[in-house]
Structure formats: structure tokens, C-alpha cells
Amino acid sequence: MTLSYASGVSKTPLLGDTIGANLDRTVELHPDRDALVEYATDRRWTYARFAADVDAVALGLHARGIRKGDRVGIWAPNCAEWMLVQYATAKLGAILVTINPSYRVHELEFVLNQAGVRTLVSATVFKTSDYAGMVEQVRPRCKALTDVLLIGTPAWEELLRAGRAADPEVLAEIGAGLSADDPINIQYTSGTTGFPKGATLSHHNILNNGYFVGELCGYDEEDRICVPVPFYHCFGMVMGNLAATSHGSCVVIPAPGFDARATLQAAASERCTSLYGVPTMFIAVLNEPSLGSADLSGLRTGIMAGSPCPVEVMKQVIDRLGMGEVTICYGMTETSPVSTQTRADDTLDRRVSTVGTVHPHLEVKVVDPVTGVTVPRGTPGELCTRGYSVMLGYWEEPDKTAEVIDAARWMHTGDLAVMDGDGYVNITGRIKDMVIRGGENVYPREIEEFLYTHPDIVDAQVIGVPDERYGEELMAWVRLRDGAEALTPEALRKFCDGQLARYKIPRYVHIVQEFPMTITGKVRKVQMRAEAVDILGLADAAATKHA
């Protein structure tokens, strides 16, 4: 019997340097190559110019009193300044607190106070968000906050001027006192219930994870990575930015927020070789009317991650976008984020139906959620990760850290998984997403994958809703293709009949234009369940108590 355990053997050693030192090495090798392109404004940075501006921001922050260990918040959509602040704080040893751009006053105040943010770099406005106005609202209630810098204002320009006039040797002295194991980033996990927790990550955590993501994507100085996913999240700032700068590649920002048309235009115009996205983003790109006229011949690879990747969508990304070497990554903020990834030389079946094998220098195992014992391969259980990528802990919350990281330093992901005989992992759902219908354990992912085969369904999400008889019943929320006729529960049941066990066939169907989403493109199933109670009139069933 082979157990569901695997370790990532690699001939390539881990990086032992800091983010700043790693960037400096890349600049020495590729000073004249593109480092960053902001497509919407046509602003461009070579590595030499990028490094100069990073140092200016770092020295400007230093002149304003920022020192090693101080928390600097960044609250803005994707822009060049976001990336400059990311690397500038790393050079100072300051801890970058990445704040979700969709937060509002209540959430912003919580994060600023919980992390003890001293300086906040913020956008002024974006779409309907008045960032400057919200900052002024919370500022009197944030005791640690002493400095606010609004991007694009005279204060920001003054920061750059002060940094350019400062002694560059200061950064060299600071760098000599930094350790790769220092905390460098606090990322707040999406709090679907209660307040979010701040996953605290080190240089070593995120630099190595970005580097090995890039290694498995085959990046070098010729690659140009289109990054429409948000920088505030690991997908953007680690798998995008750090994967790029550790390989001399170029980051292309298509727009401040996700826009399918802008993403296509940027990927085509900038001859991008790689494209990132969560499944919902790729679905939007595949359904964008301008797709047929976009020259995407430069694309060869990319990453789909962030939430379960539908097999049918993955196949279309390969066939219609020409991303023959596209990979799927699996991970979570607390693990920097990637734990498993498919490889370019994996079979098509492996690349479209699994999240790959363990990442270099990491360990993964699948355990019984109750006993914690590692289960045999082919048996479902909870996926756990151990190694360099596991966070230092939740910021100032040791009790919550202990709930997810055990005494042997295994991170318990809360995700249900199966490891096959060759070590490939398939994510079958979340432990808390599992639906128990009349004593049968139902995993929504399996049903969702089947619903994707319906010719009129573009996207599908399955949730459990209260039921007085069975405890829970299944409800499918679906998005239909343009021009499709309304899909009735009866029609869907007929489609599923004979293909799925009866207890897996959704009783309810709800047609939507879009799903409730987090900023990172993850579907908020907690919100869907709450709305479903009202939509279906299930208040009485919801009030029924079960053992």
C-alpha cells in the first residue's frame, strides 16, 4: 500500500537571498530589457529604470521614517506604483500590508489597526471607490497611521524627489542587515465569515515560490507575462511579479482591474508569452467578442489558478488561446501560495484534470480529516502542505495559527483531495463546502464538472441549501450562453438523469448573469447559500436543527 504522501525532489536549490538582492542580480544581467509595461498608459520600465525608481521609493519612504519591521500598507488596483512599492518595502525590510481594493471603511479600519500600519500608500479613486475619502474617514481611528501617500498627487512626487536626492549607500547598509527569513508581507485572507486573518510571509517564502512557479513555466528573459489578476493577492505579486523579476521576464499590466477586452489587447499588442487568470477570467476572455481578431500567436503558457479549474474551460484555453503549455497551480495565501503545479510535459489529461504534483522542495500529504492519519493513494481526505512555503503565522494571532499549522509544521488546507498512484493531486472540494444530503456526502466539484458539459451552460456553481427532509438539498447556480433558452429544473434533471446518481442531481436551478465574487475571482458560496434561503423561501428549513 502506497500512502498519499509526496516530496518535491529538485536539483535546483532554494534561493537564500532577499527580494531586493535578487532584483539587483537580475538588473545586473538584464539592465536594458523590459521589466514592466503598464498597457493602459503606455508607461514602460527597463530593468535599469525600474530598479532606479524602486530605490527612489525606498529612500523616499526611509526619509519619512520607515524602518525595518514597520508596516506599510498598499491600497490600490493594479498599477506600476503598486509594484514599485512592493520592491521598495522589501529593500527596506518593511512589511508590506496588501489591502484588498474592494474593501470599504469598516474592513480598511480593521486591517490598518490589526497590522499596525504606519504609512499607507493609496490610490485616490478607482471606478466608484473614493479611496482618499475613505482613508480620511478612518484615519482618526487608526492610532499607528501617521502618514498617507496618495498615488499621483504632489505628495507622491515629493517622495520620489526626496528618494532620488538621497544617498544610495543607505540602501546597501540596510540590505546588509536583512535576512531572507524576515517577515516581509502580510496578506489578509478573504474573510467570508468574521474578520480576515493576516498571513505573514517572509522573503524566503514568496521569493522562492515565485521563482519555482517561473521555473515550471519555463520563464527566461524573453518571456512577457500578462497579469490581469490582482497584485494585492499572491497570484499577482508572487506568481506574477516575483516569478518575472527572478527570471528577467517582463510584467504586462493590461488594466487597473480585470477587463477581458483590455486583457486580450494587451496580450496581443505586447506579444505576451504567458497569460494568467482565475477560471472566471478565462471564461470571460473566451466569450469576449474581440477574441477572433486578437493575434495571440505569442502565447505559449500561462497559469489558471485561484479556484477549481473546470476541465472544459482548460481545454478551450489550450485550443482557442493557443496556450499549449498552460499550467494549473494549486495553493493558498498561507503557503505563499503554490503547493502543486502541472508541468508542460504532463499529458493533456493530467493537465486538464489534476492540479499536478508537489512543487520543488515541498511536501504534501492527504490525511483523514478526523484522525489526521495519512490515507492510501486513491482515498479522499484533507490536503496538507509542509516546507519553506508555509507562512510564519497569522499576524499577532497565535491561537488561530495553531488551528491550521500543527506541531510538525504541516499546514492544513481545509481542501479535500485525492492523490493518485503517480502523485498527481485532484481537488474535490472544500471540507466546509461538502454537502450532506440524507447521509450521503456530496462534493459539488464533481457535479459542477458534469454541468459544464451541458451545451447551454457557460459556468456553474453547486451549493447545499437547507431541507427539512434531507438536511440539505442541492442547488445549481448557472450562467447560460447568449441566446440560450431558460433552463428549468426539470430540463436539468433530465440532462443529469442516468449520468449522475440521483442524490447528486440538483433539485433547484437558479439562472444568473454573474456569481457573487471576491476580488480574486473566487466564488462566494457562503453568500450564495444565504441568498438561496430567501430565493427559495427556505427560512423554516434553515431554522431546523440537526444533530
191: nearest Cα among 399, 400, 405? 400
**What pLDDT does residue 438 have?**
72
Other CB atoms within 10 Å distance of the CB of residue 80: 19
Query: Cα separation of 254 and 36, whole Å?
Result: 11
**What pLDDT does residue 519 have?**
66
**What pLDDT does residue 191 have?**
44
**What pLDDT does residue 547 have?**
40
Query: Cα separation of 359 and 305, whole Å?
Result: 15
Q: Could you say which residues of the chain have pLDDT below 70? A: 190-194, 439, 519-520, 544-547
Number of H helices and number of E strands within the chain? 19, 28
Query: Cα separation of 435 and 463, whole Å?
Result: 7
Query: Cα separation of 226 and 77, whole Å?
Result: 15
- Domain ranges (residues) in the chain: 43-179, 434-543
Q: How far is CA 510 from the centre of its chain?
A: 27
Other CB atoms within 10 Å distance of the CB of residue 455: 7
C-alpha cell, 295: 493575434
Contact 119, 73 (CB under 8 A): yes
CATH class of 434-543: alpha beta
Give the strands of the sheet with 393-394, arranged side by side.
147-150, 117-122, 71-75, 95-98, 183-188, 198-202, 393-394
- Name residue 99's amino acid: I
425 phi, psi to nearest 5 deg: -110, 140
C-alpha cell, 357: 504534483
**What pLDDT does residue 370 have?**
82
- Name residue 403's amino acid: E
DSSP state at residue 109: H
Contact 328, 305 (CB under 8 A): yes
Q: Identify any residues that bridge with 148 across adjacent strands, giving them in sequence order.
A: 120
CATH number of 43-179: 3.40.50.980
261: nearest Cα among 229, 228, 232? 228
**What pLDDT does residue 520 have?**
67
Query: Cα separation of 431 and 369, whole Å?
Result: 9
Q: How far is CA 301 from the centre of its chain?
A: 18
